[in-house]
Structure 1
Amino acid sequence: MAIVLIDADIRAKWPQGQCAHSPGSPEELAIIAIDLLVKELGTEGAQNFMNQMFLRYSTGALSNA
């Protein structure tokens, strides 16, 4: 497994507010992304989206690539 460092400044706005983040790791970036997905799609919509993405990276799908 590789060590990945992230250097990013993320600013997001929506009608009820805004946020700014500077993630330094994939884990921090994932937390930010999930938070924004829930704001955009709601909890169920975000879960469905994530399930679709995880299916893309399932063991079977990766071995067929």
Structure 2
Amino acid sequence: MPMIHTPNLSDPDGFYEELIDAQRGLSDEQAQLMNAKLVLTLANHIGDREVLREALQVARPLGAATAG
């Protein structure tokens, strides 16, 4: 399954608002934990390692140092 690079949410602004609302009142640590759980939940749903590998590359900031 190829990764979709074009907008694919019917209401991206609405989803962003829900994401922000879901984190309202959380500490920074709690919000980071929630984001990590969300990423792992969605990764499990996608289930395709090639798509996930590409998504990691897309999400990584340009110019960031690599480990190792």
Is the shorter-chain TM-score for this pair beyond 0.5, marking a shared fold? no
Q: TM-score, normalised by structure 2?
A: 0.40
Q: TM-score, normalised by structure 1?
A: 0.41
Could you say which structure has the higher strand fraction? 1
Structure with more contact order per residue of length (Cα contacts < 8 Å, sep ≥ 6): 2
Could you say which structure has the higher helix fraction? 2
